[in-house]
Amino acid sequence: MAKDIDINAKSPVMRYRVYLKLEKSLQPNTVEAYLGDVEKLSIFLKDNGVELLAATIDDLAAFLASLTDIGIHARSRARILSSLRSFYGFLKLDGFIDKDPTELLESPKIGMHLPDVLTLHEIDDVINAIDLSKKEGQRNRAMIEMLYSCGLRVSELCALKMSDLYLQEQFIRVTGKGDKQRLVPISSRAVAELEAYFADRNRIPIKPGYEDYVFISERLKKPLSRIMVFHFIKQLVLDAGIKKNVSPHTFRHSFATHLLEGGAGLRVIQAMLGHESIATTEIYAHIDSTRLREEIIEHHPRNRKM
């Protein structure tokens, strides 16, 4: 049960749990999904000094906007809004509040100018489409795995340096927008792909001044550019037979969506993405790096035991 919301037996949340279970006859997994969405809102409101029962339509709109900011797909946002409508509808019905703040909230428009999200199966299809007989094959596998497993921007991927890697500790240091740095947990699979790539990288006569960069062009002997990565992914997606509009950023959106749907908290996802709205020293001071790594290991598909 959520730790950030009131779990007293007489609390609105516990009364709502009973309502979902007994009156709505929902399955346990569905009940937990509804309560998990309420918890995400509760955490957001608490960070902004707002009580759950005192939330206004503006508070809820800000919460939904925060989901958009971190790349959560419209379908996931619509599902979360449906949960919140159910919750606040119950609160009004049971007399906890006089006005339902969700009544005038518009649902996210699905499929209109929104980034596509790849399923885990489609991500594996993209990776499996890479020709390992080519010199750049293993490098490209490592790149795709890093984009997805670490939620990196393409600029962050291209700028990543060997001195930023702490593979034994399973962390990497990422320099994002505004030169703000963050530590990001890296999955065992991504570590394995990187280490396999290093055998090829060590054979490249890298141009002076670029020796510290991780991803090197076999032909140019210097770091890959954003445009190179963009064109490589476009071709790879075609080879994999995927019809969605996919760019390097698609893997970042997929990372955030899969984490959210897996149960990770919004603050952890925001910390992983390095979003500007929370990328400050004060915010990071409240996020324990060990706890962050534990949440990523627990909720990211790449870390689940098969």
Q: Would you call 153 a catalytic residue per the annotation?
A: yes
Question: Going by C-beta distance under 8 Å and a sequence separation of 6 or more, which residues neighbour residue 187?
Answer: 145, 149, 170, 297, 300, 302, 303
Q: Which of 284, 293, 300, 302 is catalytic?
A: 284
Distance of alpha carbon 240 from alpha carbon 235, whole angstroms: 9
Distance of alpha carbon 16 from alpha carbon 7, whole angstroms: 11
Q: Which of 40, 73, 182, 252 is catalytic?
A: 252
Q: Would you call 275 a catalytic residue per the annotation?
A: yes
Q: Which amino acid is at 187?
A: S
Q: Which of 109, 135, 177, 286 is catalytic?
A: 177
Q: Which of 141, 275, 293, 302 is catalytic?
A: 275
Q: Would you call 304 a catalytic residue per the annotation?
A: no
CA-wise closest residue to 250 among 153, 124, 140: 153
Q: Would you call 77 a catalytic residue per the annotation?
A: no
Distance of alpha carbon 237 from alpha carbon 127, whole angstroms: 9
CA-wise closest residue to 112 among 143, 66, 78: 78
Distance of alpha carbon 250 from alpha carbon 240, whole angstroms: 15
Q: Which of 141, 153, 299, 300 is catalytic?
A: 153
Q: Would you call 291 a catalytic residue per the annotation?
A: no
Q: In this structure, what token pair is assigned to residue 55?
A: 């939330």
CA-wise closest residue to 74 among 106, 48, 42, 101: 106
Q: What angle do CA 269, 47, 110 make, to 5 degrees?
A: 50
**How many residues are listed for the chain in this entry?**
306
DSSP three-state, residue 288: coil
Q: Would you call 177 a catalytic residue per the annotation?
A: yes
| Residues that are catalytic | 153, 177, 249, 252, 275, 284
